[in-house]
Amino acid sequence: MEPEDPIEIPINGELDLHTFRPNEIGDLVPDYLEACRERGILSVRVIHGKGTGTLRKGVHAILDKLHYVTGYRGAPEWNGGWGATIVDLQRLDQK
């Protein structure tokens, strides 16, 4: 079986995880958030869908471990509601 080509994800402050399984987000979410910080994007919308909540729980567990995440919350209803999480990031030059 040949390895799949990597998926290129635009770094624009919105990460859509609909095509990913929970076991695929462990490195993806932190890497994406770091790339956003490098570009000065400090508010990121992570779209995990409503479904069973497994992906949302996985995202939140990852966010809880990242020192540069200053907070996160469910998106407003008009912006995905509980199917998305808004993540606030610390600037790169802050300790």
Q: What would the pLDDT profile of 37-67 be if each residue is shown by its tens digit?
A: 999 999 999 999 988 889 999 999 999 999 9
**CATH code of residue 68:** 3.30.1370.110
Residue 29 lies in a domain: yes
Question: Of 11, 57, 16, 9, nearest to 34 (Cα)?
Answer: 11
- For the chain, what is the domain count? 1
pTM of the predicted protein model: 0.89
- Show the domain range for 22: 14-89
Give dist(CA 41, CA 71) in Å, integer: 14
What six digits make up the tokens of 88?
């606030």
Residue 7 lies in a domain: no
8 Å CB contact between 69 and 22: no
Residues, the chain, total?
95
